[in-house]
Amino acid sequence: MMRIYNTLTSKKEDLKIPPSGEINLFVCGPTVYDYSHIGHARTYIFFDTLVKFMRKRLNIKINYLQNITNIDDRIIKRSAEENKNPQEVADFFEKEYITDMSSLGVNAVDTYAPATKYIPEIISQVERLIKKGFAYSADSSVYFDVRKFPEYGKLSHQKINELKEGVRIEVEAGKKFFADFALWKASKEGEPSWDSPWGKGRPGWHIEDTAITEKYFGLRYNIHGGGLDLIFPHHEAEIAQMEAISGLSPLAEVWIHTGMLLVDGEKMSKSLDNFITIRDFLKENSVYVLRYMVLSQHYRTGLDFYKKTIQMANSSINRIADFKQRLKEVTGQSSHLPWEDFAKTFWHELADDFNTPKALASLFELITETNKLIDTNNLSQNDAQKIVDFIDEVNDILNILPVVSEIETPSQITALLADREKARANKDFELSDKLRDQIKELGWEVEDTAKGPRVTKL
């Protein structure tokens, strides 16, 4: 029914649906110390769209859980710089994250779990790991002893004795082995802390995820997702923690990872000054452009953001929207178009490792072929309506077209709205304001929402 690439086995596999008919999915959420950037947008738009596809097209019940890392070195650092309380900084950026997701139309998550609400669950996991001999305490901190877990490295396909001391591994005093990682960190003076059997401290990054997934999903679950950069050491550490506790393997059957996002061929970083926040991007572009850019590439590839890809996304969106408008004007009687074949290919490509670029290619093929028939008046009104319905169904999942509320909206208003969206896409704000005034003169008010422009009668 659906095939998906599993990082754990390095293979595309049939997605197994458990007898319960429900899939438990956990995706790593953000560390809330700054505004979310378009790299986050890529990951969360992908998982949101995948979940909607599985729910709406495949009728699978998905329980979608995401953590929020609201205690972390970077949060503490930022709060010190701004002379604020770390919790205040984390709460602020958590709220901004939720706002950004809603402006992206990302709304498939059932539960957001902020780490600090799960301190007892985290402490319980650390205690069990010590009891089972997988962890040791040193100077009021607790570390996972990776050499006690011989399978450490199985997700990133490395062996313990081949691990190299790298930038991704924190150097800390008290560790027995360089690759050991902190489960519990002793807190320094003035840092946020919680009481624990090892003294005042705070959780390590990896343990919050397994404490949260154990609480909601139990010892094992179906799918774990996140960005490619989290495979090692973060996801590797999660596997070690939870499989050591439960004695069961694998922690999650399927591991799905999204590729990195590059800007003009470079990794996004503050030092390169190419760091683009979601809100800055949306100030100049529509949310549909961002969603289209993300979905026009396969989720596992590196996604490169160039100025020209923004223009290409814009023109692709316009092409689909114009086509839909054109279909509505079709009045022909008979057709010779096997349009269902294109629709079938579209859904088949999504079911094959969520291949959105190939699916979109089949949609554009349908547009080209249908346009030829419309040109020669060889498309029936009936088929035209069915294609409109198909595009609506596509858009219900991909959310790449501005939704103009057409109920009892006169076609003159709909046409002006479409022109205004085009003007906005082309950043011709003078024209878009003029069109808004024109619509107002006709007795309608435009409101721009996350789902596109809405008009209401004045």
Contact residues for Zn ion, defined by CB under 5 A: 28, 209
Comparison of 209 and 243: residue with beta carbon closer to Zn ion: 209
Comparison of 113 and 363: residue with beta carbon closer to Zn ion: 113
Nearest distance in Å: CB 381, Zn ion? 51
Comparison of 229 and 428: residue with beta carbon closer to Zn ion: 229
Nearest distance in Å: CB 208, Zn ion? 7
How far is Cα 314 from Cα 379, in angstroms, rounded to an integer? 27
Nearest distance in Å: CB 32, Zn ion? 13
Nearest distance in Å: CB 447, Zn ion? 37
User: Do 142 and 198 contact (CB within 8 A), yes or no?
Assistant: yes
User: Do 225 and 26 contact (CB within 8 A), yes or no?
Assistant: yes
Residue nearest Zn ion, CB atom distance? 28
Comparison of 209 and 253: residue with beta carbon closer to Zn ion: 209
Comparison of 41 and 425: residue with beta carbon closer to Zn ion: 41
Comparison of 209 and 421: residue with beta carbon closer to Zn ion: 209
Comparison of 180 and 209: residue with beta carbon closer to Zn ion: 209
Please calculate the CA angle 439-440-446 and round it to the nearest 5 degrees. 75
Nearest distance in Å: CB 429, Zn ion? 40
Nearest distance in Å: CB 234, Zn ion? 6
CB hemisphere CA count around 148 (13 angstroms): 20
Comparison of 26 and 342: residue with beta carbon closer to Zn ion: 26
3-state secondary structure the chain: CCEEEECCCCEEEECCCCCCCEEEEEECCCECCCCCEHHHHHHHHHHHHHHHHHHHCCCCEEEEEEEEECCCHHHHHHHHHCCCCHHHHHHHHHHHHHHHHHHCCCCCCCEEEEHHHHHHHHHHHHHHHHHCCCEEEECCEEEECHHHCCCCCCCCCCCHHHCCCCCCCCCCCCCCCCCCEEEEEECCCCCCCECCCCCCEEECHHHHHHHHHHHHHCCCEEEEEEEHHHHHHHHHHHHHHHHHHHCCCCCEEEEEEECCEEECCEECCCCCCCCCEHHHHHHHCCHHHHHHHHHCCCCCCCEEECHHHHHHHHHHHHHHHHHHHHHHCCCECCCCCCHHHHHHHHHHHHHECCCHHHHHHHHHHHHHHHHHHHHCCCCEHHHHHHHHHHHHHHHHHHCCCCCCCCCCCCHHHHHHHHHHHHHHHCCCHHHHHHHHHHHHHCCEEEEEECCEEEEEEC
Comparison of 28 and 303: residue with beta carbon closer to Zn ion: 28
Nearest distance in Å: CB 248, Zn ion? 20
- 54: its two tokens: 């599985």
Comparison of 48 and 209: residue with beta carbon closer to Zn ion: 209
- 2: its two tokens: 């659906």
Nearest distance in Å: CB 67, Zn ion? 6
Comparison of 30 and 453: residue with beta carbon closer to Zn ion: 30
Nearest distance in Å: CB 26, Zn ion? 8
Nearest distance in Å: CB 274, Zn ion? 25
Nearest distance in Å: CB 28, Zn ion? 3
